[in-house]
A and B are shown apart, each in its own frame.
Chain A
Amino acid sequence: MIVQRIGVSVSMLLRMMFRRRIIPILLLAIPAAFLLAVYWTTSERIMPFRLASVAEEVFLEASERNISLLFLAVASVGFLSSFLALNLIQREAAASHRLVLCGYHPLALLVSKLAVLAGCTALIALYVSVALLLFFTPEHLFLMMLGLFLAGLVYGSYGLLVGSLIRGELEGILFIVLLANIDAGWLQNPLFYAEAENQFIIRLLPAYFPSQAAIASAFSDHSIGSSVLASTLYALGFLAAAGVLYFIKMRKK
Chain B
Amino acid sequence: MMLEVENITRSFGQKAVLKGISFRMEKGGVNGIVGENGSGKSTLLQIIVGALKADSGRVAVFGRLGYCPQEALVFSQLTVLEHFQYFAAAYGLPVRGEGEESWQAHRDQLLEHFQFGQYRRERVAYLSGGTRQKLNLCLALFHRPGLLVLDEPYNGFDWETYLRFWDYAERFRASGGSILVVTHLIADKERFERIYNLKNGILQ
**Residues of A participating in the B interface, judged by any CB pair closer than 8 Å:** 1, 4-5, 8-9, 12, 15-16, 19-20, 92, 94-95, 97-104, 252-253
B85 at the interface (CB under 8 A from A): yes
Not counting A9-B89, A97-B73, A101-B50, a sample of 11 additional A-B residue pairs whose C-beta atoms are within 8 angstroms of each other reads A5-B89, A9-B86, A15-B78, A16-B78, A94-B71, A97-B51, A98-B67, A101-B67, A104-B89, A252-B50, A253-B52
**Which of B82, B87, B90, B95 is A15 in contact with, Cβ under 8 Å?**
B82
For residues 84 through 103 of chain B, which have their beta carbon under 8 Å from a beta carbon of chain A?
85-87, 89-92, 95-96
Contact A253 B53 (CB under 8 A): yes
Contact B91 A103 (CB under 8 A): yes
Residue of A nearest to B85 (CB): A8
Least Cβ–Cβ distance between A146 and chain B, in angstroms = 32
Contact B52 A103 (CB under 8 A): no
Cα distance A9–B73 when bound, in Å? 16
Q: What residues on B are CB-neighbors of A92 within 8 Å?
A: 75-76
B7 at the interface (CB under 8 A from A): no
Interface SS of A by simple majority: helix
For residues 69 through 128 of chain B, which have their beta carbon under 8 Å from a beta carbon of chain A?
69, 71, 73-78, 82, 85-87, 89-92, 95-96, 123
Contact A252 B52 (CB under 8 A): yes
Contact B74 A102 (CB under 8 A): no
Least Cβ–Cβ distance between B108 and chain A, in angstroms = 19
Contact A20 B52 (CB under 8 A): no
Given A8-B85, A94-B71, A253-B51, the answer on whether A1 and B92 have CB atoms closer than 8 Å is yes
Given A98-B69, A252-B50, A253-B53, the answer on whether A8 and B89 have CB atoms closer than 8 Å is yes
- The contact sample of 21 A-B pairs, CB cut-off 8 A, is A5-B90, A8-B86, A12-B75, A12-B78, A15-B77, A15-B82, A16-B78, A19-B123, A94-B73, A95-B73, A95-B74, A95-B75, A98-B73, A99-B86, A101-B49, A102-B87, A103-B90, A103-B92, A104-B89, A252-B50, A252-B51
Q: What residues on A are CB-neighbors of B91 within 8 Å?
A: 102-103
The number of chain B residues with a CB under 8 A from chain A is 25
**Which of B51, B53, B75, B95 is A8 in contact with, Cβ under 8 Å?**
B95
Least Cβ–Cβ distance between A90 and chain B, in angstroms = 13
Q: What residues on A are CB-neighbors of B52 within 8 Å?
A: 252-253
Cα distance A95–B90 when bound, in Å? 12
Cα distance A47–B82 when bound, in Å? 55
Which residue among B49, B51, B76, B86 has the maximum number of chain A CB atoms within 10 Å of its CB? B86
